[in-house]
Amino acid sequence: MAELQMLLEEEIPAGKRALVESYQNLSRVAEYCENNYVQAQDKRKALEETKAYTTQSLASVAYQINALANNVLQLLDIQASQLRRMESSINHISQSPLHPAWMLGN
């Protein structure tokens, strides 16, 4: 239960915040790269720098998406496990001689 709570209250919200921050950072990086290219004497060097920033930024976003997706999958696995346990408990109760259906002769 603690793992589920940690995912819901910490890990998943933190992953979402990281993606929002990355979105904002990507806008700033794009603006910097555009200005850098326009003002650069050496356009080839500015283009290579832009490629490097782009590669690094996209790799970071891909990592964050992967981490968040893994946390969501882990959350779903925990919830599926809880549902299986509840189903088992319900089946056990319904088969119990103390269940009202048993008492009515069904």
Residue-wise pLDDT for 68-95, tens only, equals 999 999 999 999 999 999 999 888 887 7
Q: What does the domain layout of the chain look like in residue ranges?
A: 2-103
105: left (phi over 0), alpha (psi -120 to 50) or beta: left
The strand ranges marked E within the chain are none
Give me the pLDDT at residue 94, please. 78
**Residue 41: helix, strand or coil by DSSP?**
coil
> Which pTM does this prediction carry?
0.77
**Whole-angstrom distance, CA of residue 13 vs CA of residue 15:** 5
C-beta separation of 49 from 33 below 8 A: yes
